[in-house]
Structure 1
Amino acid sequence: MNTLTDPAAVPGQQPGVAAVDRTNVVLAFDVGGTDMKSGIVLGDLARGDVEVLDVQRHPTPLEAGRTGESVCARIVELTGEYRAAHPELLIAAVGVTVPGIVDEDAGIGIYSANLGWKDFPFTATLTEALGLPVGFGHDVGMAGEAEFRLGAAVGKKDVLILVIGTGIAGAVLCDGHRVAGGGYAGEIGHAMVPGPDGSLVIMESLGSAGAVARRYTQTSGTAVAGARDVLALAAEGDAAAAGIWKDAIDALAFSVAQCVSILGTETVVLGGGLSMAGAALFEPLAARVDQLLTFHRRPEFIHAALGENAGLIGSALKARSLAGS
């Protein structure tokens, strides 16, 4: 069971959570293109009795040519603030997830188009500055690891985790192991799919929440706040909205079917903002995937279980493994 507490919660033991070791906790950071999320993760990670305390969001420091250095400096600064705010807790390790292409073993952010770093040594920089073990990984990869070990995909072996928001990213697990591909695995949003006109386009240009809203605005001339508005219009009989939603389903289904055919994917975990569409997404997606497959086993579609804190929990898992507990 995962107990996720808000920033105002008293950091005491939560109902249903076993007694935890408060002298061996992880401070986790999930760095994004706009903001960086942080929180204290403690509990028996092996059992899934997890607390996430004092969750905060801060703007990601975007310093031209020095974003990697600026992010690390901010992490060091926030670590000091967390220590001062929670003297009863001993931070034993730090976990950090970042977007882009990541070499987790070497601790390097190979490339991030949005954040501007290239071959930046996150693990070495933070380990030297903090004097603590640093677990470093890809943001969606670590979130996928958390869903696999503690969340929706527990007990599964061949899993595709899709986070569908402004863009689309994924984590792939085969035979119980996450595929890293030297940092390049999981970029499913940039896989090519057939477009409505028969050309090949990247999948997230049709299937992401951002694409759904953008394409409706372009097609109809009417601006919408997001994909949820397009889905509501489709339900009301708006032909343009219905067509754009169908295009999104087709694009997602094509990539899922490819994973099933090539990797034997048995479980698809859907997270991110678009997954909140619920049955309006899950049912037509499963039906379209079924049409695209022949003799293959049909995957089970399930909703991500850990919510917005999956990345923090995943980085804590990595950091705790390095700390030897």
Structure 2
Amino acid sequence: MIALQVGAAFIQGCVVGPDGSPHSRERWFTRPERGPDAVLESVLACAASLAERCRPTAAGVALPGVVDDASGRAVHATALGWHGIPVQDWVAEHLDLPVAVGHDGRTGGLAEARAGAGSDCRNFLYISVGDGITAAAIVDGRAVQGDHDGMGGLGGTGDRGGTGEHSGTGELGHIVVRPEDGEPCHCGRHGCLETVASTTAVTRRYARMTGWRGITAREVYHRADAGDPHARVVCLDAADALIGVLATAVRRHSPERVVIAGEPAAAGASRLTALGATLAGRLASPAVPEFRPAHFGDMAGCVGAAFLARDRALENSKATAG
């Protein structure tokens, strides 16, 4: 099985074994400034490159934005310049394989539910913090569906200005958290969570304060833990914004656990402990979910897409046999 996760900064890919473990990991620059057609050509080329390394029976693709899982279309992926792109059909034709397409928040949650940090948990929230911020509420191994999202409607018009094309799609990063003085977001609004708490925002804001360029968000987190005052301001602001949105999801879904993928988890256990303590301060209820790092890390979306692809291949096989 092969899988891709397409993001605004990178396209990640891997070959996924029968046990769900990712192998032959690759990462390519997305470079969306080249235009939507060029990004699609890159996705097709990356998929073909992975397929050459094994004999895949199916392929999975995880996408940001608004995704129609049934048809495999990227309805709106503003960061990629995609609107109404039939990704599933293009990749299937290019590889001559069954292809499954899903939202990267939902596929990441699926991976952690089946073989990761949520496999022993009936009800959990999956959050991925990278160049975008996505989420899914998982109950009994499936994403809660509400307004065709992975968060049961989180991000709708009642949630701090979260309106527009990303509302209710699992795109947690496009909930507005700084409506008065927020920075512009590529979705067209100002003050989205992504402009404060994404890895891109953390490094950009730190560089603006210090003049340091080229360091990663993980390094900014480590500098904050070491006492760097500028890093502490950036990281505390990011955590405050993230927990503000997460508290709404916890109140709505009452999860047993929060599984986090991305730099806040990769920066170390102390970072997750701090997030849990901040969340506890926001909740009136004493029942605070435990925080765990995603087992598959930033590859969770890829692994979950591979699981979707495996399901699709089995469905096709049964239909053919029947």
TM-score when scaled to structure 1? Answer: 0.76
* Aligned counterpart, 2:157: none
The alpha-carbon distance between structure 1 residues 248 and 315, as it changes in their structure 2 partners (threshold 3 A), is same
Answer yes or no: is 1:116 the counterpart of 2:91.
Answer: no
**1:163-195 alpha-carbon deviations (Å, 9 max, x no partner):** 122332222224643035435421111223368
Summarize the alignment of residues 149-228 of structure 1 with structure 2, pairs less than 5 Å apart: 149-174=114-139, 176-180=141-145, 181-182=147-148, 184-193=168-177, 201-220=191-210, 223=213, 225-228=215-218
> Residue 33 of structure 1 aligns with which residue?
8
Structure 2: give runs of 5+ residues left out of the alignment. 150-167, 184-189, 316-322
Q: Which whole-Å deviations, capped at 9, do the CAs of 1:216-245 have from their partners, x for residues lacking one? A: 333455557233444444344444433332
Q: Secondary structure at the match of 1:30?
A: strand
Report matched runs for 1:81-120 at 5 Å.
Answer: 81-82=52-53, 86=54, 89=55, 91-120=56-85
Deviation at 1:202, TM superposition (A): 2.2
More strand by share: 1
The 2-side partners of 1:121 and 1:296 are apart by 46
TM-score normalized by structure 2? 0.77
- List gaps (5 residues or longer) in structure 1: 1-25, 44-48
The count of residues paired between Structure 1 and Structure 2 equals: 289
What residue number does 1:290 align with? 280
Q: In structure 2, what is the equivalent of residue 9 of structure 1?
A: none
Is contact 1:30-1:37 (8 Å) kept?
Answer: yes
Tell me how far apart the structure 2 counterparts of residues 66 and 163 of structure 1 sit (CA, whole Å).
27
Cα drift, residue 129 of structure 1: 4.1
Q: Distance in 2 between matches of 1:212 and 1:287?
A: 21
Distance 2:52 2:107 in 1: 25
| 1:277–1:57 CA distance, 2 compared to 1 (3 A) | closer
> In 2, Cα distance between the equivalents of 1:72 and 1:223?
29
Please report how far the alpha carbon of residue 151 of structure 1 lies from its aligned counterpart in structure 2 after TM superposition: 0.2
Query: Which moves more between the two structures, 178-187 or 61-70?
Result: 61-70
Whole-angstrom CA distance in 2 between matches of 1:307 and 1:92 = 25
Does the 8 Å CA contact 2:261/2:298 hold for their aligned counterparts? no
- How large is the RMSD of aligned CA atoms in angstroms? 3.1
Q: Which has the larger radius of gyration?
A: 1
Change (3 A) 1:124 1:237: closer
Say whether 1:50 aligns with 2:20: yes
Aligned-residue identity in percent: 32
CA contact (8 A) 1:260 1:266 kept: no
Distance across 2 between alignment mates of 1:56 and 1:206: 28
Q: Partner of 1:16 in structure 2?
A: none
Judging changes above 3 Å, is the alpha-carbon distance between structure 1 residues 112 and 283 closer, same or farther for their aligned structure 2 residues?
same
Q: Deviations over 1:16-52 (max 9, x none)?
A: xxxxxxxxxx222223334433333231xxxxx3343
Is the contact between residue 174 and residue 263 of structure 1 (CA under 8 Å) also seen in structure 2?
A: no
Match of 1:3 in 2: none
The structure 1 residue matched to 2:312, chosen from 312, 315, 322, is 322
Partner AA of 2:35 in structure 1: A
What's the secondary structure of 1:106's corresponding residue? coil
Distance 2:57 2:39 in 1: 23
